[in-house]
Homo-oligomer: A and B are copies of this chain.
């Protein structure tokens, strides 16, 4: 059993539970900080432990090119390489193939593309993606899927969904053969990815196809790629009902705090997003409103205006000598002032990004804790 339900909300589809991985139990709903290139930008493993991050996400596409999955395998695995002993989820590499490589060709066999680093020709079959993720020692492995750019013609979308399902079956097959030598208790998990754009029938077809194959968890892909929030919520409104209750559901690449809250209410358990770390690099800080700081604040019932975002680079912070965040667990965020952080950004000191990243990830992980408490 990969998912254990602990509590089902009576007000919404929100659910609290646990995902059992070979590296320990994950309390859901949870958020995964992104360690694209085997590093959550500017943070160490000590920082991530202090943040109480349960799991991080790494990107297969980036790591297969640099330093290369073979080098990481020689280091032991990605855990050993980046000194992270808690679970790691890796994506399939597909999303970056489609978003970073301009020149690519998709066939039934797999996807041909050119490295965005050196232009070298690469070919990735579904089996290759699984093998690379096995090399990395990932605890949650994603199948290779095609993430179709929207809007797309229904005909193309349907063909794509069917191929993605066939690719998922090949992934499962390869994964099963590769992991058969491992002890059952030590096995990684394999997740399928539901596609189908904004087409309800295709989404359901995708979910049914994947469920028939059977995976340890189900991701909802192809959202938060430019469509409206309303469209995204509409898909979520029906898609979680199509997925097994006893498996975790993962909404890929989402999102802003309100997106996460709304997705939790629609039955999603797992999230990842570049927003907290990327916005940190631009000086945009997430901070709780005073009312939401309270221990038993119900973030699901009162999601509106529970937080604010400030642009610390703004002139108005030049003389704000109050702490960056008086309630942070980090002495550096409790002691350094907003004026100091603003100064660090204005003179391009690298410490600026580190402080802002700590702040935003602490906010996001606290958000998930508040969500779990509220369910």
Residues of A within 8 A of B (CB): 37-39, 41-46, 62, 66-67, 71, 74-76, 81-83, 318-319, 321, 331-332, 335-337, 339-340, 342-344, 346-347, 349-351, 353-355
Q: Are A332 and B44 in contact (CB under 8 A)?
A: yes
Which of B43, B46, B74, B354 contacts A321, CB < 8 Å? Answer: B74
A349 adjacent to B319 (CB under 8 Å): no
| Copies per complex of this chain | 2
22 contacts between A and B (CB under 8 A): A37-B347, A38-B343, A42-B350, A42-B351, A44-B332, A44-B336, A44-B351, A45-B332, A66-B343, A66-B346, A66-B347, A74-B319, A74-B321, A75-B337, A76-B321, A81-B337, A81-B339, A81-B343, A82-B340, A83-B335, A83-B336, A354-B354
CA distance A38 to B346 in the complex (A): 12
Instruction: Name the residue in A319, A321, A332, A340 with the highest tally of chain B Cβ atoms < 10 Å from its Cβ.
Output: A340
Question: Known contacts A38-B340, A340-B81, A354-B42; is A67 also within 8 Å of B318 by CB?
Answer: yes
In the complex, A46→B76 CA distance in Å?
32
A41 to B353, CA, bound (A): 12
* Residues in B whose Cβ lies below 8 Å from that of A82: 340
Chain B residues near A331 (CB-CB < 8 A): 46
A81 and B337 alpha carbons, distance in the complex (Å): 7
Q: Among B76, B321, B335, B347, which residue has its beta carbon within 8 angstroms of that of A75?
A: B321
In the bound complex, do residue B319 and residue A71 qualify as a contact, i.e. CB atoms below 8 Å apart?
Answer: yes
Question: In whole angstroms, how far apart are the Cα atoms of A332 and B355 in the complex?
Answer: 18
Q: B46 to A351, Cβ gap below 8 A?
A: no
